[in-house]
Amino acid sequence: MKNPRYLFLIVALIVCVGASHHVQAQTQFCPRELLHGYEAEYVRAHTVLPDRTTPRVDDMSVFVTVHGESLYVQSNYAPPGLAQPRASSFGGGLTPFKLATDESISELSEVINILTDPRYYLMPEFRTERDFEAKRQAHEQEIQAAYARGMTIYVEERLFNSSKWRELDLGFASDVRLVTSKFIYKTILRPHALAMVGEKPKRLVALHSNHVFTDIRNTAVVTRFNNTAFRRNDVRVLPLLQDQATLERFKLLIPSALQIDTNHLTSEAVINSFARNQGKILFIIGHIPERTGRLVVEDAAQGEVFSISIKDLEDAAKANHNRLFIMGCKSVTEGAGQGTLEVLNSVNAVDRIYSALGAKTYGDFLRRISDTGSKLNIVVDEVLIEGAERRISISFHHDVIDLALGFGLASGTVIVYEVFSTDDDRRRRVKKTARTSIRRTANGSRGKHRN
C-alpha cells in the first residue's frame, strides 16, 4: 500500500473498533467519549485535569493511573484539525485523548507519544505523503521537549501499588504531581522523579535535590539538610564484605577513627558495634542479593560467610539511636530506611563516603554521596540529621549555663538552670556536668545553687 493515508485510516478504524472491546495484551485508544471498562478512571481524570482542552503540547496535562494490569492515560490535548471532533459530556469541549494498554512499555514519554501521535488522528495537514514523516517526527520532538518543559503529569498513587507498572520510568518529566485520595502533591522532579520502593511497607519517595530522594510528604526536611552543619566525626563506616580492593581503599581513605574494625566479623559483632557507636551515622557497605532483604558476606569463592537481615540492622540502629545508611545495591528497595535505589560498586561506595566526609552541611554531604564518580539515586529521611540538630540544641544550652554560672558566681546569686533536649540520657548527662561544674567552681565562694 503506497499511500499512507489509507493505511492510517485502516489503523484508526481498527483501534476504534478495538476500543469498544476489552482485548488482552493490546493498546486501546480513540478520541471517543469513553473507553469501555475505564469509565471510573475517566471520571477521576476529569476531577484532576483542567476542564479546557488545549491544542498546545507544552500546555497539556496528562493523567496516569492503572486499572488492573492496564495503564490508563488521559490528556486534555486536542490538536487543531482533528478529524472528527465530538462534544464531550464532561466539560463541554472536545473529547479528551485517552489510552489504555496492557502491553509492556517502560517509559511514560513513549506512552504520551503514542497517545498524541498524529498518525492515529488523521489530521488533514498530515495527509500528504511527502511531508507526513517529517511532520510526525517534528511532532515527536515537540512532545519530548514539552515533556521536559511545560507538560504537567498527574500520577495516581495506585500506579505505584501495581507490580506491573510501579517501575514505569517517568524520565525527564519536569512537573509530576502525585494524586492520592486526599491531596495532590506537587513535587520538583527530574529523572526517576517518583519511586515506589520496598515490597512492604511501601514508601513513596520524591526527588528533592540532585538525586536525593526523601519521603514525598516531608518536603521541609530538605531545607533542614541544607541548614544543618555536618561533622565528619559523626560518621562511622563498616564494610561488610571481603573484597580486597574495597578493604584496601577503605583503609587508605577512611580515617582510622571512623573505621569500625572488620576483623573477625559475625552478625552478632555487627549488632554489637551499633551499641559502641550510639548516635553515629553508620555507613554499612555490603552485598545485597536481589529480593533477599539481607546483607550477605561472601568469600572469594562466593561461599556465604554470614548474613544479616536489613530488618535486624534497622532494629538495632533504632535501639541505639544510630543513623543507618546502607550502601548496597538497591538497599532501600530491599527494606533499608536510608540507602540507594540503584546498583553500586563497592570501591565506588568507599569513594563516595570519603568525598562526603569533606562536606560542610548535610545538604552538601548528600550531594557528594549521590554525585561522586557517577550519579546515584539515594533515599534519606530526617533521621539523618536528628542527632546533629539535637547536638546543636544541647551545645547552645550548655553555653547558656556557662554564662549563667559565671554571672551567678560573680554576683553571689542563686543559679537556676534547665537544659532542653528531647534526648533524656544526654539531658541527664549535661545536667550532671553542669551541676559538677557549679559545685567545683563555687567551692570557697558564697554562691549557692539549686536544681
The contact set with another protein (CB under 8 A) reads 241-246, 249, 285-290, 299-302, 327-330, 334, 342-349
* Nearest-approach distance from CB 263 to another protein, in angstroms: 9
Residue among 12 and 376 whose Cβ is closer to another protein: 376
Q: Which long-range contacts (CB under 8 A, 24 or more apart) does 159-165 make?
A: 159/64, 159/65, 159/66, 159/71, 160/194, 160/196, 160/202, 160/204, 161/196, 161/202, 162/66, 162/69, 164/66, 164/69, 165/66, 165/71
Residue among 177 and 249 whose Cβ is closer to another protein: 249
* Nearest-approach distance from CB 300 to another protein, in angstroms: 4
Other CB atoms within 10 Å distance of the CB of residue 449:
17
Residue among 40 and 343 whose Cβ is closer to another protein: 343
* Nearest-approach distance from CB 372 to another protein, in angstroms: 14
Residue 425: C-alpha distances to residues 272, 319, 322 (Å)? 20, 13, 15
Residue among 324 and 349 whose Cβ is closer to another protein: 349
DSSP letter, residue 3: -
- Three cell numbers written together for 446: 558564697
* Nearest-approach distance from CB 193 to another protein, in angstroms: 21
Mark 125-149 as b/e (b = at least 16 C-beta within 10 Å). ebbeeeebeeeeeebeeebbebbbe
CA angle 275, 281, 285 (to 5 degrees): 95
Question: Rounded CA gap, 214 and 208, in Å?
Answer: 7
Residue among 24 and 263 whose Cβ is closer to another protein: 263
* Nearest-approach distance from CB 246 to another protein, in angstroms: 5
Residue among 62 and 254 whose Cβ is closer to another protein: 254
Residue among 348 and 393 whose Cβ is closer to another protein: 348
Contact 111/73 with Cβ under 8 angstroms? yes
Q: Which residues pair with 87 in a beta bridge?
A: 94
* Nearest-approach distance from CB 299 to another protein, in angstroms: 7
Q: What are the two backbone dihedrals, phi and then psi, of residue 12, each rounded to the nearest 5 degrees?
A: -60, -40
Q: What are the two backbone dihedrals, phi and then psi, of residue 166, each rounded to the nearest 5 degrees?
A: -60, -25
* Nearest-approach distance from CB 291 to another protein, in angstroms: 10
Element (DSSP H or E) covering residue 149: none
